[in-house]
A and B are shown apart, each in its own frame.
Chain A
Amino acid sequence: MSLACVTFEESNSTFNYLSNNNRRLFRAILELREIVLAAYRGRHEVLRIALSPLGYEALANSLDNDIPSPKSSEPSKEASLRGFLDNTWVSGFNDVDVDGDVIIPEMVANGQVHENREASKRGRQAMDELASESKAIVKEYSNLLNTPFTQYCETQRKWAETDAVRDREYEGDVLVKKLSSKYQTDIVDLNKSMASSFLLTMKRLNLIVQITNDPWNQPRHWKFNAHTDLLYRRILFQPNYNFDNHASASYELSLGKEREMYEQEEAERKKRLEEAKKERERAEELLRAAIVPYTEPVEDDAEDEGDDDDDDRADSDGFLGWNLSEDRNESFEHSSSGKVDGAENEEQTDDPQNTSTDNQSSVKDIDESWDQIEAADYEEGGESDPFAWARKFMWAEGERYVHSFESIVMVSIQNTKAGTLLLTSHSIYFRQLGETMDVMTKEAVKSGDEKGRKHDMKWKLSRLTDVHGRRYMLKAQALELFFANMEGETLFCFALLLIHGG
C-alpha cells in the first residue's frame, strides 16, 4: 500500500503550482462527486428518505449548482471542484451521534426538525440495519471459517467412539508398556555394561599405572605347576595371571549376610542336635528305667567293660529302679563270679534251692518270689538248655536260636578270652570258658584281678554296624565286629573274635 505523499512544486515566482498529488487529489474528488451525483440521480428516493431534510437539501443544492459543463476548461474544472468542496454539504454535516455501537452521521434522518418539518427515522433505521447486517456478516463468516474445524471435531468425536479406536488405544497402551519395559531393560543393561567396562578400564589403568611407576615391584601371584614344560622340567611354581582373591566373597562386600545366614543355620542345627540328644537321653533313661528290674544293667556291663559311665549316669539320675538295679547287679556279679569259681557256683546253685524252700514258706513276698522264679528258671534252664547261661539275659520277644560256635577266642588289645558264642536272631552272646590270657605275657590273668573276671557278654545285632574279615596269626580266620552305642555313633570295636576251626 502506498501512502500519500505530499509534494510541492517549487517555484521561484509564486507558490501557485500543481503537483501530482494535487492532480490525483482533484481526480479523486471528481470521482467522488461523480459517485454522489450518480447515486443522487439514480436513487434520489433513497437519499430523500434516508437523509435529513437539511442534509438532502444541501446535497441537492451542491450537486445542482456544481454540475460541470462538458466544455469547461481545466482551471474551471478545478474551480468547480473547489466550489464543490466549499459547499455546505461537504464542509458541514460532520457531526455524528453515537448510539451504542452505531455511529449515526448528522445528515441521516433521525427525527430532526427543519422548518417545522420533522424528518423520518428511516435513515436511522437504515443505519441500524447496516450495523446488524455487518454483525451478521461477521458472525456468518466466522461460522463459515469455523465450520470445517467443527466438522473435523465432530468426525473425530464419532470416530473416537468406535471399537477401532478402543482397539487402537489398547494396542497403544500395550505398545507403550512394552516399550517402557524394554527401555528399562535397556537402561539396566547399559548400566551393567558401563559398570563392567568401567571396572575393566580401571583395572587396566591401575595395571598401567603400576607398571609405569614401579615396573619391577609389581605383585605377582604364583601357583603350582601341574605339568612339565617342553624340556620335561617340572617347574614348581608358575605365574598366576588369573589370580582371584575372591574379594566378592568377602564379608565386607557381602555385608555378612551369607555368613550370618550360615551361622544361623549352624546354630539351629546345633540346637536341633541338642534337642534330639536330650530326647534320646530321656528315651534312654525311660528305657533303662523300664528294663532295670530285669537284666538291662547286666547287659550294659556286658556290652562294655570299661563303659561304667552309663551306670554312673543312671545312678546319678536317681531313677526308681536304682536299688533293684543294684540288687540285680549284685546278683549278676554273684552268678558270673559263680561261673568262674566252681565252688561258688555250687553254693549259688544251692541258694535257689534254699530260697525255693523259703519261698514255699513265704509265697506272698513278691521280691523273694521273683528271685525264686528267676533262680528256678535258671536252674531248670541249666539242666535242659545248654545255653541257659544266655537265658539270664533279657531275651527279646520272638528271639530265637540261630547258631552256636565253640572254641571262640575274643581278642582285645590287652588280653584274650576263650569261650563259646551263641548267635540268636537278635543278639550275640559270649560265655568265657577258659582263663583270661594276657596278650603280652601270654600268661593267665589272676582270677582275683578285675581283668581276670569271667563275664557273660551280650551284643545286640541291631547295633551292629560293620563286620570286617581279619587275619589273625597270619590266617584269614577272624572277624572284627563294630557296634554302635545308643547315640548312633560308631565305636571302635573292642571285640575281635577269632574262630578256630570255624
Chain B
Amino acid sequence: MYGIRLDNLVSGVNSFEALAGAKLHANRPRDRYRYVSVVLASEMLTILDAFIFPDNLDASQAASQQHGLSLVRTTEPRLGISQGTLLASLVRLSLILLAYLEPSSVKFLQACSRLRCFLHWVLEVLRESVALGGYSEAFTELTAPLDRMILAVVLQCHRALSRCSAVLAEMESSPWQKYFSDIESRQKSIR
C-alpha cells in the first residue's frame, strides 16, 4: 500500500486469480463476488502480518502491539474519504473474514488475532480522540466512525461465537464417519 508493488510477486492478491478460483460459484454471481472478496481480504491482511506481528516483538506485551499503529492511522486518499483511516478499512476487511471463514480454520484464527490487534489500535485512537475532544460520550463527532466499528466488531463476534458453538456441538455430537468415508481420507484431510 505504500509503494510496494505486488503485481505478480505475491500470489492470491491479483483479482483475476480470485476470479479464476471463483468459477466454482459461476452459477451464483453474489456467491462468486463474496468468494473473491474473502480471498482478496485474506491475502491483503496476510501481507500486513509481517508488519503487525514482527518476530522480534513479544506479542504478550500490550505495548509491543502498538508499534504498527502509525502505519495505519492515516487516511489513504486513493481508497476514498468515506473509507476513513486505514485502520477502519482493516477492521472492515477483518470483519469480512470473520463473517465468512470457517470457525475452525487456521485463517479464521489468524483473522481473530489480527482483529484483536486492530481493536486495540482502535481503542488507542479513541482514547486519543477523547483526550483531544475532552469528552467521553459515545458517537460524538470525533469518535463516531470508530464507535460504529466497535459496535460492528461486537456484533460480528457474537455471530462468530454462535457459529463456533454450532460447529463445536456438531463436532462433538457426530461420529467422524459422517464426514469421512474411511480413515485414509480423514488422515489426508488432517495433512
Contact = CB atoms under 8 A, between A and B. Distances in A.
B177 to A, nearest CB: 9
Interface in A78-131: 84-86, 89-91, 93-94, 105, 107-108, 122-123, 126, 129-130
Contacts of B168: 22, 25, 29, 85
A298 interface: no
Contact of A8 (B116, B151, B176): B176
Interface stretch (A33-41, A343-351, A437-445, A486-494): A33-41
A7 B155 contact: no
A-side interface mostly: helix
B109 interface: yes
Contacts of B159: 105
B139 A107 contact: no
B175 to A, nearest CB: 7
A25 B164 CA distance: 7
A144 B79 CA distance: 8
B123 A24 contact: no
A129 B38 contact: no
Interface in A17-61: 19-22, 24-25, 27-29, 31-36, 38-40, 42-43, 45-51, 59
B121 to A, nearest CB: 11
B161 interface: yes
Contacts of A108: 151, 155
B80 A140 contact: yes
A7 B189 contact: yes
A47 B165 contact: no
A25 B103 CA distance: 6
A42 B123 contact: yes
B136 interface: yes
Contact of B150 (A24, A32, A46, A129): A46
B139 A122 contact: yes
Contacts of B113: 31
Given A25-B103, A39-B154, A126 B109 contact: no
B87 interface: no
A38 to B, nearest CB: 5
Contact of B179 (A6, A89, A141): A6
B-side interface mostly: helix
B168 to A, nearest CB: 6
B102 A126 contact: no
B185 to A, nearest CB: 10
A151 interface: no
Interface residues of B, number: 60
Contacts of A19: 171
Nearest to B97: A1
B42 A1 contact: yes
A32 B151 contact: no
B176 A6 contact: yes
A5 B190 contact: yes
Interface in B145-160: 145, 147-148, 150-155, 157-160
- In the complex, which of the residues A31, A34, A84, A94 has the most CB atoms of chain B within 10 Å of its own CB atom? A31
B54 to A, nearest CB: 19
A24 B138 contact: no
A4 B103 contact: yes
Contacts of A38: 116, 119-120, 123
Interface of A: 1-8, 10, 19-22, 24-25, 27-29, 31-36, 38-40, 42-43, 45-51, 59, 84-86, 89-91, 93-94, 105, 107-108, 122-123, 126, 129-130, 133, 136-137, 139-141, 143-144
Interface of B: 38-39, 42, 78-83, 101-109, 112-113, 115-116, 119-120, 123, 126-127, 136-139, 144-145, 147-148, 150-155, 157-162, 164-165, 167-168, 170-171, 175-176, 179, 183, 186, 189-190
30 contacts: A1-B38, A1-B42, A3-B102, A4-B105, A4-B167, A7-B189, A20-B190, A21-B104, A25-B104, A25-B167, A28-B104, A28-B160, A29-B168, A31-B109, A32-B157, A35-B153, A39-B157, A49-B139, A51-B151, A51-B154, A89-B158, A107-B155, A122-B139, A123-B151, A133-B82, A133-B148, A137-B82, A141-B79, A141-B80, A144-B79
